[in-house]
Amino acid sequence: MSILKAIFDTIAVMIRLREKISLLPFNTFRIDAGARYLFHLTDPGELRELADHREVGHLVPDKERVLVMGQGSNILFTSDFDGLVIINEIKGISIISEDNSGVVVEAGAGVIWNELVGYAVSNGLSGIENLALIPGTVGAAPVQNIGAYGVEAAEAIEKVRLYNRCAGEWLELSNRECRFGYRDSIFKNELKNSVVICSVTFRLSRSASPRTDYGQIREELDRRGLVDPSPAQMAGIIADIRRSKLPDPAELGNAGSFFKNPVVSPDELQRLREQFPEARYFRQGDQYKISAGWLIEQAGWKGRRVGNAGCYEKQALILVNYGGTTGSEVFDLARQIRESVREKFGISLESEVNIVPARNF
């Protein structure tokens, strides 16, 4: 039986491995870059089959020539990728354990993130409702430590199961071992380009404790007359807010927020406010996040267009593809924005979007 399975697995890999493929359908920026090889991963076991494959086996342990993607919602291709692109499509949501206080759920890395949010709130489970409608897949959530409206994925993640391509071994990392930070994790540092995340386990609560003190949420709750919103109601509010100010990638190519909100010390904040009293900021522990969108807007970029790339008219943090632009043109626009913000405010913006191949501003 194991021999037959091995034969079928090998055939499955051969069928789904394609050569010289456009990545246009696989990135939300809608950049027409090419990949030398493309593979749709549906089962973790296929990773070993890829490593043994006569054409791409030598690429699998190479950090620079293998790229793992979900929906491609946080990536900008500035040129073709001369290597193997793995589209992670490992599915499945299952309950691992549950008690009176909560439920532990494991989701495949290829599950669409908003589908997991929908699963949680439809079952009355709280913890990730503020992350509704964030594009991408479950596997991308721990890499970026996605966050929105006062909540980060790290608050709900219990562990991450992955395959280390370079070492050829399976691993499970606890929340602490993932070294989560603001839009950061071990997967963007020590393990960058070395692993394939196969599933993520979340601990969700049966007791709703909605985070309502961020941005437009309180205004929407008051407008709707809600005092104690359910997880489903919170997810609905968040989704409506996001739709009102963020472009749909299906209509206007983008990768969400292009820059991180810069984090500064109290002294740096004081310096900024002395010159710009209206500066927008949020407290984070003993430091402060400055609104990158506000910085970009004040630097005069909101709504500006350079060729077929531009800064979205409703949200300055979003760079968009108006059609036919290249990744290099978007990158050049981002560089110009970054330089003007640094010149005006003395603050350097850091990209939140993954630039491939890696390029420095």
Catalytic residues: 183, 257, 352
CB atoms within 10 A of CB 161: 17
DSSP-derived secondary structure letter, 66: E
Helix, strand, or coil (residue 133): coil
Burial 336-354 (b: 16+ CB within 10 A, else e): bbbebbeeebeeebebbbb
Cα 146 to chain center, whole Å?
6
Q: Are the beta carbons of 75 and 82 closer than 8 angstroms?
A: no
Question: What CA–CA distance (Å, rounded) separates 147 from 99?
Answer: 27
218 burial type by CB count under 10 A (0-12 exposed, 13-18 middle, 19+ buried): exposed
Question: Angle 209-211-217 (CA atoms, 0-180°, nearest 5)?
Answer: 135
